[in-house]
Amino acid sequence: MSSRTAASRLSARRAASSAAEGPTYYDAKIQDIRNVGIIAHVDAGKTTTTERMLYYSGVSRHLGNVDHGDTITDFLPMERARGITIQSAAISFNWPPKQHLLEGQNPKTINLIDTPGHQDFRFEVDRCLPVLDGAVCIIDAVKGVEAHTERVWASAQQHSIPRLVFVNKLDRDGASFHRSVIDVASRLNAWPLVCQLPLWDKTGDELQGVVDVVERRGMRWSASGVCSLVKEETLRATPALWDEMETARVKLIERLCEDDDELVEAFAENGTDLPASLVKASIRRVVRTANGSVVPVFAGSSLRNIGVEPLLDAVVDYLPSPEQAPDVEVRIGKETRILGDVLDSKAVSSAASTATAASKTGALASVFKVVNDPTLFPGTHGMLTFVRVYQGSLHKNSQVWNANLAKFEKPFHIAQVSAAKIGEIPYLAPGQIGAVTGLKSARTGDTLHILPTQQSKNGLPLASLRTMTIRPPDVGPAVAFVSVEAYGAVETKKLAEALEKLAREDPSLRWSRGDETGSEDTFVLSGMGQLHLDVAIDRLRTTYQVNASFSEVQVDYKECITVPTTGPHRFVYDRVVANKNGTAACTAEIEQINEEEAEMAVAGNTQPDAPGESTYTFERDGNVFNIRFTDGGEGTDFTFDPEMVSRQLFNGAYGALARGPRRGSPLHGCRVNIVFDTRTDYGGSGTDGHIVNAALGAVRNALREAHSKGQVAVLEPVMNVHIACPDDSAGAIQRDITGSRGGFVLEVRETSSAGGSASSSSSSSSAFGETPIDLDQVYAPPDPYVTIQSLREEKRGVTRLLEIVATVPLKEMLAYDSRLRSMTGGRHSFTMELGRFERVMGSREKDV
């Protein structure tokens, strides 16, 4: 709790009654904006923490509860039924409330995104992270840092997002603040700055509040959620608590001095007895420059309302505003540049000097989410598109260029969204997060901009800016699928439209028409796992009201080329397309590549390789597509737009790889090299469909020849599996994995113990940093029950947990959660993610 709110902290009931006056967040100054995400492992308490934030800020009048199914951010029926977050939810509110502010102070506008914690929805998390300027990572104090926490932490590290850590559920039996702090250092490889200590009752059994190390005071919450301050005199009356707080403060200041030269000067003059304002300013500087290598740690229990208000103060005090965050990186072709450098370039400045006033100001926004649910958002004209604005202001009815789809779109309305509540606003200012309605084609991951245009009738953006995108989506290959068959022609059309909308919302969902038998009445829907597809099926039935039958979830096997196809395969397409005569041709070759090569490829345009040549490279689903244009080296300009034609050739080649020649499975790990000779292969304008079909035919012919020679193999997804279980069940689980399921156990490590220490190692082994942290140098306050000698050990219920890390074929893991439940009595957690695709050999190849 900051000093500005100390004298006027109201009860939870009074805070809740102070409802927001309206959606006026759009006019907040950029320095008063905080774009923050909540990230964590599943069931760590993200949604509960978010609900408390909304309650104390006055957005909601009741405390939403995941178990009761009445949360604001988890508004989908399936989310409330299962008690998990499926879709990320964006909500805006002000903090602190007006009654907590001193005269002349303005509240900060927090645009908060509650992200899913389940591994199947990793794409949802990865699309939200890039639009954030800060994040709060929540750790379950009983389980410590878990597998998915490490993965989302690594994603935040990749995007250089400043972070805070909130150790939640400290009121639970088996909770350990000490172990959680050590986990931050050992498993996340981040130096923990302990800013708060848990405040226990005299027995050390019950959590009552927190002690603010910086301000040297305590905060205690009653059962009804009323916060009261614990003054310095009261804390001094408990010498052990006061001494621990002083130790924590000294350790905090000493660690800050290692990264902050300004604090070193104050430390040299005054020692560790520094005013709170200097310490907080130092934390702010370190958090914003340390790239996640140093993180403040806070304590509490969201379900009991403990620690949420001071956590909100920390978000406002320590996390950066959009203007303090690094300038966004954009991709133009294969080149990654800083947006400010692009806008300051000579070509852009010259175009802007002759542009209209609207074009001069411009706008640049990234689409991080698309939602279609008219029952939740009535009057939104179809899809609701969530965007983050990076440059300029986005106004309604202003024509925007979709750089990913290379087409114009026009938003109808601009909205500020509070989960399932929506209010129209006139514009979105720089740094703001909001939503637009009326976009007919925009997908999750697209980039929208209004930037200087070239002087022509069509008003297209400058050629140098036309393909500029902000962190284009990285969609991994699907690993599971279901077959869907609608009842009747009307339902079949309805199903196709619903699948198209689902794919716009979530590009990690793929669909195709026709199964391996070629039936056009059957659709195949592919996704990232069992839960991912269960949610998609539920939405098709409830939101889209589709009347269809669904198969069981099955493994999405892949096919691959074992040797390069012999010679280029040329294909000429000269049929009628869309009532237009025309012709187009190209040649194609296919070879196998490993996953590292595929990851290195990025979509975009390169500079000409040689006079008269230009190469475009695309990557999708683990396959790389090289499109090369040539005119025989004459060096003349192309008579068509090579960027557009390259996309058409890519679409055709990608469609050919969607169904392999051996068992109708998608191809994976292929490099497709297409050569388009402009002298002989281009049939003139109006042959777009012919070009697509030329690439489709050339690649299919190459695949058929490879299959006829026995050069097509089958791949299966192998998952990286993390299972946390009691130690008395670990042996049986390991035997089951390595026995009939054909897996390999890579590591067994301890995640908790009665002593509260996660590991006896003196240094961390995390891969997040080059140099592991010496755990002997990390300050972590002791848990009270470690030093109190009594018979409460059984009451604490600290069970020794082990984490099993293994690789197992997905086929053996589809229904494994039920198997684990019978082996552990339900005392387990289980996550998995795609590790790699492996070739199926021997007797297992016959089975598939």
Q: When comparing pLDDT for 455 and 321, which is higher? A: 321
| The pLDDT value given to residue 603 | 41
| The pLDDT value given to residue 162 | 94
| The pLDDT value given to residue 360 | 43
Give the C-alpha separation, 629 to 458, whole Å.
25
Do β-strands 400-402 and 447-450 pair in parallel, antiparallel, or remain unpaired?
Answer: antiparallel
Q: When comparing pLDDT for 305 and 127, which is higher? A: 305
For residue 27, the SS3 value is helix
Give yes or no for residue 446 having a pLDDT over 60: yes
Give yes or no for residue 143 having a pLDDT over 70: yes
| Average pLDDT rounded to a whole number, residues 677-700 | 91
Residue type at position 795: K
| The pLDDT value given to residue 622 | 86
| The pLDDT value given to residue 5 | 43
Domain range 715-847, CATH class: alpha beta
Give yes or no for residue 359 having a pLDDT over 50: no
| The pLDDT value given to residue 105 | 80
Domain range 563-710, CATH class: alpha beta
**Which of 9-23, 102-116, 130-144, 520-534 has the highest mean predicted lDDT (pLDDT)?**
130-144
- In the structure encoding, which two tokens stand for residue 463, read together? 């050629």
State the pLDDT confidence band at 249, using cuts at 50, 70 and 90: very high
| The pLDDT value given to residue 65 | 55
| The pLDDT value given to residue 514 | 72
Cis amide linkage into residue 162, ω under 30° from 0: no
State the pLDDT confidence band at 453, using cuts at 50, 70 and 90: low
| The pLDDT value given to residue 643 | 80
| Average pLDDT rounded to a whole number, residues 455-469 | 64
| The pLDDT value given to residue 1 | 44
| Average pLDDT rounded to a whole number, residues 619-624 | 87
| The pLDDT value given to residue 20 | 36
Structural domain boundaries of the chain? 36-318, 329-450, 480-555, 563-710, 715-847
pLDDT in tens, 181-198: 999 999 899 999 999 999
Distant-in-sequence, close-in-space partners of 129: CB < 8 Å, separation ≥ 6: 37, 39, 115, 135, 152, 155, 156, 159, 161
Give yes or no for residue 56 having a pLDDT over 80: yes
Give yes or no for residue 242 having a pLDDT over 60: yes
- How many helices, marked H, and strands, marked E, lie in the chain? 25, 39
Tell me how far CA of residue 523 lies from CA of 16, 536, 803, in angstroms.
48, 14, 39
Q: pTM for this structure?
A: 0.79
Considering only 84-98, 146-160, 694-708, which range has the smallest mean pLDDT?
A: 84-98
CATH 3.40.50.300 fits 36-318, yes or no: yes
**Which of 44-48, 130-134, 689-693, 720-724 has the highest mean predicted lDDT (pLDDT)?**
689-693
| The pLDDT value given to residue 121 | 61
pLDDT in tens, 378-393: 554 567 888 999 988 8
pLDDT in tens, 162-176: 999 999 999 998 899
pLDDT in tens, 786-802: 554 444 444 444 567 78
Q: What is the DSSP string of 45-87?
A: SHHHHHHHHHHHHTS-SS---TTTT--SS--SHHHHHHTS--S
Q: Which of 660, 748, 734, 738 has its CA nearest to residue 704?
A: 660
State the pLDDT confidence band at 605, using cuts at 50, 70 and 90: very low
| Average pLDDT rounded to a whole number, residues 19-29 | 58
pLDDT in tens, 253-296: 999 999 999 999 888 888 888 999 999 999 999 999 888 899 99
Do β-strands 163-168 and 134-140 pair in parallel, antiparallel, or remain unpaired?
Answer: parallel
Superfamily of domain 480-555: Elongation Factor G (Translational Gtpase), domain 3 (3.30.70.870)
| The pLDDT value given to residue 463 | 66
Within this chain, domains 480-555 and 715-847 share the same CATH topology: yes
| The pLDDT value given to residue 357 | 41
Summary mean pLDDT of the chain: 81
| The pLDDT value given to residue 9 | 36
Say which CATH architecture domain 329-450 belongs to. Beta Barrel (2.40)
